[in-house]
Structure 1
Amino acid sequence: MDGFVGRRAELKALADVLTPVRTGGRGGRRGRAVLIRGRRRVGKSRLVEEFLERSGLPHVFFTAVGGSKHEDLAGFTAELAASALPESSRVADVTAPQTWDAALTLLASVLPTDTPSVVVLDEMPYLVREDPTFEGALQKAFDRTLSKLPVLLILVGSDLAMMEQLNTYGRPFYQRGTEMVVPPLNPAEVGTMLDLPPAEAFDAYLVSGGLPLILEEWPVGAGLWGYLEEALRRPTSALLVSGERTLAAEFPTEAQARTVLGAIGHGERTFSLIGRAAGDLNPGSLTRALELLVSRRIVTADHPLSTRPSRETRYRVADPYLRFYLSFIGPRIPTIERGRGDRVLSALRDSWTSWRGRAVEPVLREAVWLLAEDHLPHGTDVIGGYWTRTNDPEIDIVGADRSPIARRITAVGSIKWLENKPFDDRDLARLRTHRSQLPGADDTTPLLAVARSGCTADGVVHLGPSDLIAAWG
């Protein structure tokens, strides 16, 4: 199976940045930097390895492991000595430097001056956390030496917030690197990789989150239940181990945030219910935990979209795979390890339809947003939802010109993601009633039905699985 389905754009982007390194840049500065970020286990390191293999250039690839500063410096020196850089043998007997200033000076001394090379620092947020001087040392080395050499510096990290901050105003490395985001594979790429029809591709995406490691063990052509039956028999399956490894890396010490995340993963969405499910946390502790989760892009805080302000906030796990793991797998790992994955599968079957109905909503909203120009009125620049504290009404899709407070509502829609139950006249009547309760909408606001099994009602724009999967085409 090709692990690089959907990665052509990223490989091309890296090749484009490499071009001036090969040919020369303005003012004689050939050195370039790229900051790559993406969720854990989306294949960032594998992407870089593939790029290095295709480029054929000498390189050094160092991965920080979250140890002490001195352990990182020793590991970096060892990788430098073992690398294919032409002068790497000069490092063999060198004592590991005590500072990153010295380590990067050592690096510059062994990089070729007449031919291109590549330097990769993977899991860079670990280096930043462990040593406050690292960013300044990197900026100084890049400005004084590396930018003048034919070298491509690739900085990789899974801490999305920190990687974004590295290239912001006031930080040492500001505007010195090109930013690149490596996303999970999208639903269309999942369908292509597994040779699944659109509706089943969405199911596979909700379970895998588009993570290559999970998709690589998913048999081509196998439906959801065929894969799950096999994966739940194996405690070593990527479906099982990826979640725990992600949580351990994200929360090595923040047990309270992990508990709050578990409550959200189990389906709690409001502040009060999350606090209760997390062991009756006091409001201050809960607020701090939620702020941490949102800042790390692990949890998303959603707000109602209409022409009126609202204080209502709902929380959800941002990553589809992690949401699936927290709902069904994590709490049942001991059962699977006892060889009773069949019980987990049975529980999953019982809850799947209702769980999927909620979990698929943000994915389908993204698809509708991507398709807005073709299917929704001009000026639909955001897609969200609307609800009140009592959920009367609760509207799945709201199109508008801006958020969180719109000037104009452009469309109102409903999601009905059930097998063998099309969107019908009763659903349309309910949608019209909800439209009348939405601030900013009126009887002329267009209606949208997003339905897995077709639409039998008139007077509504219908989007089905084939239409929606095309959003990523």
Structure 2
Amino acid sequence: MAFIGREDDLNQLEECFAARKAQLVFVYGRRRVGKTETLSHFSRGKETLFFAAQNATKEEQLESFSRLMFEAGAPGRDYLSRYPSWESALNELARLPEPRGGARRLVVFDEFPYLVKSDPSLPSVLQNLWDHTLRNANLMIVICGSAMSFIEKELLGEESPLYGRATGILKMLPLPYWDAVRFFPDYSCENKVLAYAMLGGIPRYLEEFDPDESIEANIKRHILRRISPLYSEVEFLLHEELRETAKYNSVIRAIALGATSLNEIATHAMMTNATVSSYLANLMELGIVEREFPVTAKLKERAKGARGLYQLSDNFFRFWYSFVFPYRSELERGDVDGVYERHVGPVLHDFAGKPFEALCREWVWRESIAGRLPFHAREVGRWWGRHDEIDVMAVDGSGAAAIMGECKFRNTPVDRSVLNLLRDRASRTGIDRRTYVLFSLGGFTQPLLDDAASSESDVRLVGVDELFD
């Protein structure tokens, strides 16, 4: 499959590569987000030393790196079988043969945390060599890793020897929906939303689906069957990253079932608030859970966290805990069709409702950046009060104007009653300058279309097709 998306990430990496000075760039993000594939794509046409670290001993890693260096023409190959230390190995980076035409050499250390795990002195070694040798070489060094908290705290934090040395820091995020759905070019807009609602923007998950098969066939074949990689993906990732996976299962399952506050999650998981809070912090570091605040919440409110709600930020985790985890006994016995027909198919559109709202919020961000809204949004998110909730809300820099939206992922046309309800809720937000946007899978009734077509209308109607324009 052709490489999809990441234009902005690649452009920023290219800018670093074209800079006059040597570069030390950190690229990190959660597992499966596509870091290695992006760096491989970026390295095409460049003189590249690409070292994929393994979870191995220091000696094994040095042996592998030595072979790579010697193949690239490092002087040490004339008198060494392998480098005795990382200091001697990294010092030779500046002595590699000059690429043709004086081009810059790219050096990528993929999964760098594995190297530090086997040799904790490595950041200090790299810092010393960077300060005295490597920063003057014609190199771009990329440090890549999936252990996000480790990179942020141990490599980029104030206590790290490498603090302040980075010339670029790129945190890779899941693909936006408009790139994610490019994996399914022939799907209808409705099925594109369904696929995104299940898989999110994680390239590794999107690649598993066959774009020539139906949504139903893909779910059965690539998620519900025991042999499929996605069937065991969640458990594999949790075991790779965390201990006490049974307790994490309880916390994630509670959120997937609709528990959003700390108290609700603790009650569902049958744990204390303090215990659940520590688990949630770890899950947020992994990019699986996020804490959400009303879009109008002030910094003080966010600091206290009283109104914050926890959501699964990973669509696939939400799907897996909704439809695989609860029915493992049936699936283990091969009842794939039965699980789909009883538990998945009938509620798939309902399940997609929340991801559809998130997709609509991404669309508002994109419209704002493109200058197609009444104002440039300072923030886009959700709003909720004691009894009201608004699916989409964008506020301007002053907080005095807002765009408020309602999302309906259903096959019936949206009518005036939905707009009236949105107006009623909006009146309790405390914002006076308001415009409205309605998102709908099933289109809109003619009276509502007539209202929106008026020159004085404060309503914009967005059908599902427009989301993918």
- TM-score normalised by the chain length of structure 1: 0.83
Q: Mark the CA change 1:261 to 1:126 in structure 2 (over 3 Å): closer, same or farther.
A: farther
Q: Which residue of 1 aligns with 2:73?
A: 86
1:3-402 → structure 2 map (5 Å cutoff): 4-20=3-19, 25=20, 31-52=22-43, 54-65=44-55, 67=56, 71-83=57-69, 84-87=71-74, 89-90=77-78, 93-94=81-82, 96-97=84-85, 100-105=86-91, 107-108=92-93, 111-112=96-97, 116-128=104-116, 131-165=119-153, 166-167=155-156, 171-173=160-162, 174-195=164-185, 196-232=187-223, 234-252=225-243, 256-278=247-269, 280-306=270-296, 311-346=306-341, 347-372=343-368, 374-389=371-386, 392-401=387-396
State the number of aligned residues. Answer: 444
8 Å CA contact 1:108, 1:145 repeated in 2: no
| Shift of residue 333, structure 1, vs aligned partner | 4.4
Q: Flag the 1:210–1:238 CA change in 2: closer, same or farther, 3 A.
A: farther
Q: Which segment is superposed worse, 348-357 or 117-126?
A: 117-126
- Aligned-pair Cα RMSD in Å: 3.0
| Cα distance between partner residues in 1 of 2:263 and 2:210 | 42
Deviation at 1:355, TM superposition (A): 1.7
Rate the CA distance shift 1:399–1:179 in 2: closer, same or farther, 3 A.
same
> Is residue 449 of structure 1 aligned with residue 427 of structure 2?
no
Secondary structure at 2:377's aligned position in 1? coil
Taking a change above 3 Å as real, the CA distance of residues 80 and 325 of structure 1, as seen in their structure-2 partners, is: farther
**Whole-Å Cα distance in 1 between the matches of residues 7 and 383 of structure 2?**
37
Compute the displacement of 1:424 (Å): 0.8
Unpaired runs of at least 5, structure 1: none
Q: CA deviation at 1:281?
A: 0.9
Distance 1:9 1:434, change over 3 A: closer
CA contact (8 A) 1:168 1:175 kept: no
Q: Equivalent residue for 2:454? A: none
1:415 equivalent in structure 2: 407
Q: CA deviation at 1:86?
A: 0.9
Q: In the aligned structure 1, how far is the partner of 2:152 from the partner of 2:83?
A: 34
Identity of aligned residues (%): 26
Give the conservation status (yes or no) of the 8 Å contact 2:94–2:133.
no
Any gaps of 5 or more consecutive residues in structure 2? 452-456
How far apart, in 2, do the equivalents of 1:242 and 1:343 lie?
A: 22
What CA deviation, in whole Å up to 9, does each residue of 1:250-283 have, x standing for no partner? 21456544532332233321212111121x2112
- Superposed CA deviations along residues 208-263 of structure 1, whole A, max 9, x for unmatched, are 22333333342234342232132246423243243233222221456544532332
Shift of 1:58: 4.7
Indicate how the Cα distance of structure 1 residues 386 and 170 shifts in structure 2: closer, same or farther if over 3 A, else same.
same
Change (3 A) 1:7 1:441: closer
Q: CA deviation at 1:321?
A: 2.0
What is the CA–CA distance in structure 2 between the aligned matches of 1:143 and 1:353, rounded to whole Å? 56
Q: Distance in 2 between matches of 1:345 and 1:155?
A: 43
Task: Give the SS at the match of 1:201.
Answer: helix
Distance 1:121 1:161 in 2: 18
Q: TM-score, normalised by structure 2?
A: 0.84
Q: Deviations over 1:327-384 (max 9, x none)?
A: 2234444533432222332211133222211233223212212213655432532112
